[in-house]
Amino acid sequence: MSKKIASIRGMNDILPTDTPLWQWFENKVATLLQRYSYSEIRTPIVEQTDLFRRSIGEVTDIVEKEMYTFEDRNGDSLTLRPEGTASCVRAAEQHGLLYNQIQRLWYKGPMFRHERPQAGRYRQFHQIGVEAFGMATPDIDAELILLSRRLWQELGLEQQVVLQLNTLGSLEDRAKYRAALVEFLNQHRDDLDEDSQRRIERNPLRVLDSKNPQTQEILGDAPELVDYLSEESAAHFNQLKALLDAAGLSYEVNPRLVRGLDYYSHTVFEWVTDALGAQGTVCAGGRYDGLVEQLGGRATPAVGFAMGMERLILLLEQQTLAINNAPHVYVVADDPQASILLAEQLRTDNPQLRVLTHCGGGSFKSQLRRADRSGAQVALIIGAEEAASNSVTVKPLREHNEQTTVPQTQVAAELAKYLA
Ligand code: ATP
Ligand code: MG
């Protein structure tokens, strides 16, 4: 036998036993986004490497060490997308969707990052992202956050997640703060972890995000960005908080929340859970007013978020959800023509009905065993007698009722008794 080939580490198959939950979740999100008037956009999973370098930032975990970058046959540097915002901006700009327009967009799909695989952290994972362009005021920040809250409610997860909120101010606010922070970090340089030392000059805000406990302890005394906000930036943040308060949404202001990507300004937020161990952030986002211009477009305010689908699925798996995609009926017959035609007729008569036709031959006994294993409520049987009299035997598989034989024309009515 030849050697079997397995999937790539950190890239998972989603098997038929798991896809019903994924589909249920995806349908909930798609329906909700439609209720908020967001439109879906689909972009390629491969882009020019520069797109991510220029948007995410050179001194970030993603660009420094996580991207799947390769040369294609023409010698161009391409990258499997590590996130969706950059592609979304690229596509919207390329097709003129941002010119003097307001856009509410969303996307869904696989993302790729070369990280150490563990529960809730994979090399191919999936995100659903939501982006709103052309609105500078905090009402849209609030809309996005309220949309995400409604999603948790619809998924039955609202008890599991809390909202952490912060503001990064404007570019100018951050420049002032940066100077103060760098001074502080330099005073403690020798006690910081290596990554943080390296980031002092190039991207000091990211030090706040360090997962190193000793670094975190030192940061307890670090200057805080709130003290460097302009009046305008403070007003944006205060208005957002007031809107969330008015909508009865509680949140925690976390001054250390900076997010791992360079393009954020003003609002940043994360929905976090303590039910998933270290991988606690299920949804993260914020405002990125500078990004469109940074990628060559006209200055366009923007705000968005992305949720990690695997982490949300892990949370959903902890709930007891009754998702039943089993067939309603299983069609059994001696003669394949009889079963195929009956099944086709049932699908024509009732588009809601899930019909599984026995194929592949076998005795009645083995066909009925499969009918039982399929999870179907009812088996429909056409044996020699039924075929001769144009009738069908309806055999309940989950209730202790007797089976009955009815004319083919009455099958639908008989089925209705079992399929409320
Ligand atoms: P983390 O701090 O956990 O690495 P991040 O800041 O890199 O997260 P984002 O780029 O903000 O993550 O992505 C948004 C969401 O996508 C995350 O909150 C998380 O739910 C999910 N996510 C990110 N990276 C992964 C991964 N490697 N595997 C699974 N989900 C991920
Ligand atoms: Mg990360």
pLDDT value for 171: 86
Ligand 2 geometric centre to CA of 110 (Å) = 15
Measured by CA distance, the residue closest to atom 7 of ligand 1 is: 260
Structure-block tokens of residue 345: 């007729």
Ligand 2 geometric centre to CA of 65 (Å) = 10
pTM score, whole prediction: 0.93
CA distance 84 to 88: 6
Ligand 1 geometric centre to CA of 86 (Å) = 15
Contacts 24+ apart (CB under 8 A), 153-161: 154/28, 154/32, 155/25, 155/28, 155/312, 155/316, 156/316, 156/319, 156/321, 157/312, 157/315, 157/316, 157/319, 160/273, 160/275, 160/315, 161/271, 161/272, 161/273, 161/282, 161/283
Structure-block tokens of residue 123: 């090399």
Pocket test for ligand 1, best of 80, 106, 262, 281 (most atoms within 8 A of CB): 281
Pocket test for ligand 1, best of 55, 127, 312 (most atoms within 8 A of CB): 127
User: In terms of C-beta density within 10 A (0-12 exposed, 13-18 middle, 19 or more buried), how is residue 277 classed?
Assistant: exposed
Measured by CA distance, the residue closest to atom 16 of ligand 1 is: 308
CA distance 209 to 36: 32
Measured by CA distance, the residue closest to atom 22 of ligand 1 is: 308
Ligand 1 geometric centre to CA of 306 (Å) = 8
What ligand has the least distance to the C-alpha of 130? 1
pLDDT value for 354: 96
What ligand has the least distance to the C-alpha of 309? 1
Ligand 2 geometric centre to CA of 270 (Å) = 13
On whether the CB atoms of residues 273 and 298 are closer than 8 A, the answer is no
Which residue's entry shows tokens 């997308």? 81
Question: What order of strands is seen across the sheet that includes strand 77-80?
Answer: 46-48, 77-80, 68-71
Measured by CA distance, the residue closest to atom 29 of ligand 1 is: 121
pLDDT value for 263: 78
Measured by CA distance, the residue closest to atom 28 of ligand 1 is: 121
Ligand 1 residue neighbourhood (C-beta within 6 Å): 83, 113, 115, 120-122, 125, 127, 260, 279, 281-284, 306, 308, 310-311
Measured by CA distance, the residue closest to atom 26 of ligand 1 is: 121
Residues of the chain with pLDDT under 70: 260-261
Ligand 2 geometric centre to CA of 99 (Å) = 32
pLDDT value for 322: 82
Instruction: Count how many Cα atoms sit within 13 Å of the Cα of residue 271 in the half-sphere of its side chain.
Output: 25
Ligand 1 geometric centre to CA of 211 (Å) = 14
Output Rg (C-alpha) for the chain, integer angstroms: 28
What ligand has the least distance to the C-alpha of 52? 1
User: In terms of C-beta density within 10 A (0-12 exposed, 13-18 middle, 19 or more buried), how is residue 345 classed?
Assistant: middle
What ligand has the least distance to the C-alpha of 125? 1
Buried b (16+ CB within 10 A) or exposed e, 352-362: ebbbbbbeeee
Ligand 2 geometric centre to CA of 87 (Å) = 18
pLDDT value for 260: 66
Ligand 1 geometric centre to CA of 301 (Å) = 23
What ligand has the least distance to the C-alpha of 258? 1
∠ CA 100-104-147 to the nearest 5 degrees? 145
